[in-house]
Amino acid sequence: MPLLVMKFGGTSVADLARIENAAQKVRAEVARGYDVIVIVSAMSGKTNELVGWVETTSKLYDAREYDAVVASGENVTAGLMALRLQEMDVPARSWQGWQVPINTTSAHGSARFLSIPRDHIDAKFSEGFRVAVVAGFQGISTEGRITTLGRGGSDTTAVAFAAAFGAERCDIYTDVDGIYTTDPRITGKARKLDRIAFEEMLELASLGAKVLQTRSVELAMRYKVRLRVLSSFEDTDETSGTLVCDEEEIVESKAVSGVAYSRDEAKMTLLDVADRPGVASAIFGPLADAGVNVDMIVQNISENLAGHSGATTDMTFSVPVNQVDRARKAMEDARAAGIVSYDDLVIDTDVAKVSVVGIGMRSQVGVAARMFAALAAENVNIKVIATSEIKISVLIDRKYMELAVQALHDAFELEKA
Ligand code: ADP
Ligand code: ASP
Ligand code: MG
- Strand arrangement, sheet containing 92-95: 92-95, 131-135, 35-40, 3-8, 169-174, 227-231, 242-245, 195-197
pLDDT for residue 266: 97
Q: Is 220 inside a domain boundary?
A: no
Q: What is the DSSP letter of 43?
A: P
Share of the chain above pLDDT 90, in %: 90
Q: Domains in the chain: how many in total?
A: 2
Mark whether 156 and 58 lie in a shared domain.
Answer: yes
Looking at all shown ligands, the one closest to residue 41's CA atom is 2
Q: Mark whether 121 and 29 lie in a shared domain.
A: yes
- Distance (angstroms) between ligand 1 centre and the Cα of 229 equals 10
Phi then psi dihedrals of residue 211, to 5 deg = -60, -30
In a domain, 148, yes or no: yes
154 near 215, Cβ under 8 Å? no
**265 and 153 in a common domain:** no
Task: Give the CA distances from residue 347 to residues 211, 327, 344, 385, 398, in Å, rounded to whole numbers and listed in that order.
Answer: 29, 10, 10, 18, 14
Atom number, ligand 1, closest to the C-alpha of residue 178: 25
Residue 184, pLDDT above cutoff 80: yes
Cα atoms in the Cβ-side hemisphere of radius 13 Å centred on 263: 6
Note the ligand closest to the C-alpha atom of 8.
1
Residue where one domain finishes, among candidates 133, 156, 175: 175
Q: Which residue, among 252, 309, 307, has the nearest Cα to 276 in the 3D structure?
A: 309
Question: Facing residues of 146 across strands?
Answer: 140
285 lies in which domain range? Answer: 259-411
Identify whether 182 is part of a domain. no
In a domain, 249, yes or no: no
Q: Are residues 264 and 163 in the same domain?
A: no
186: pLDDT strictly greater than 90:
yes
Q: What is the pLDDT of residues 91-139, one digit of tens each?
A: 999 999 999 999 999 999 999 999 999 999 999 999 999 999 999 999 9
Question: How far, in whole angstroms, is CA 107 from its chain's centroid?
Answer: 16
Instruction: Give the three-state DSSP class for 67.
Output: helix
pLDDT grade for 309, boundaries at 50, 70 and 90: low
Residues with CB under 6 A from ligand 2: 9-10, 41-42, 47, 73, 136-137, 151-155
Type and span of the H or E element at 354: strand 344-357
168 and 30 in a common domain: yes
Residue 253 lies in a domain: no
Using CB atoms within 10 Å of the CB of residue 129, give its burial: 0 to 12 exposed, 13 to 18 middle, 19+ buried: middle
Query: Are residues 266 and 170 located together in one domain of the fold?
Result: no
Q: Does residue 376 lie within any of the structural domains?
A: yes
Span from the CA of 363 to the centroid of ligand 3 (angstroms): 32
CATH number of the domain bearing residue 265: 3.30.2130.10
What is the rounded end-to-end Cα distance, in angstroms, of the chain? 39
Q: Ligand 1: which residue has its CA nearest to atom 1?
A: 9
- Do residue 263 and residue 123 come from a single domain? no
Task: Give the model's pLDDT for residue 248.
Answer: 87
Whether 405 and 283 share a structural domain: yes
Tell me, using a 6 A CB cutoff, whether residue 224 lines ligand 1: no
Neighbours of ion ligand 3 (CB under 5 A): 9, 152
Query: What digits encode the pLDDT tens for the residues 343-372?
Result: 999 999 999 999 999 999 998 899 999 999
Ligand that comes closest to the CA of residue 173: 1
Same domain, 134 and 266: no
Residue 8 lies in a domain: yes
- SS3 call for 157: helix
Between the CA of 42 and the centroid of ligand 2 the distance, in Å, is: 6
CA distance 45 to 8: 14
Q: What is the DSSP letter of 117?
A: -
Task: Choose the final residue of a domain: 175, 206, 221.
Answer: 175
For residues 165 and 280, state if they share a domain: no
Number of C-beta neighbours around residue 231 at 10 A: 16
Ligand 2 mutation target, pool 11, 47, 72, 147, most atoms within 8 A of CB: 47
263 ligand 1 Cβ < 6 A: no
Which residue has a Cα nearest atom 11 of ligand 1? Answer: 211
Banded model confidence at residue 254, pLDDT cuts 50, 70, 90: confident
Strand, coil or helix: 27: helix
CA of 121 to the centre of ligand 2 (A): 23
Distance 256 CA to ligand 1 centre (A): 19
Amino acid 303: pLDDT? 53
Contact (CB, 8 A) for 130 and 36 = yes
Is 233's C-beta closer than 6 angstroms to any atom of ligand 1? no
Compute, in angstroms, the gap from residue 75 CA to the centroid of ligand 2: 12
**pLDDT, tens digit, 9 for 90 and up, residues 31-55:** 999 999 999 999 999 999 999 999 9
At 200 the pLDDT is 95
The CATH number that applies at residue 17 is: 3.40.1160.10
CA torsion sign, 232 to 236 to 237 to 239? Answer: negative
Residue nearest to atom 17 of ligand 1 (CA): 211
In a domain, 56, yes or no: yes
CA of 78 from ligand 2 middle (Å) equals: 13
Dist. CA 318 → ligand 2 center (Å): 24
Domain boundary among 126, 157, 175: 175
Predicted TM-score of the model (pTM): 0.92
Question: Are 169 and 23 contained in the same domain?
Answer: yes
102 lines ligand 1 (CB under 6 A): no
Type of residue at 266: A
Chain mean pLDDT for the chain: 95
Cβ–Cβ contacts within 10 Å for residue 206, how many?
19
- 377-416 pLDDT, tens digit each: 999 999 999 999 999 999 999 999 999 999 999 999 999 9
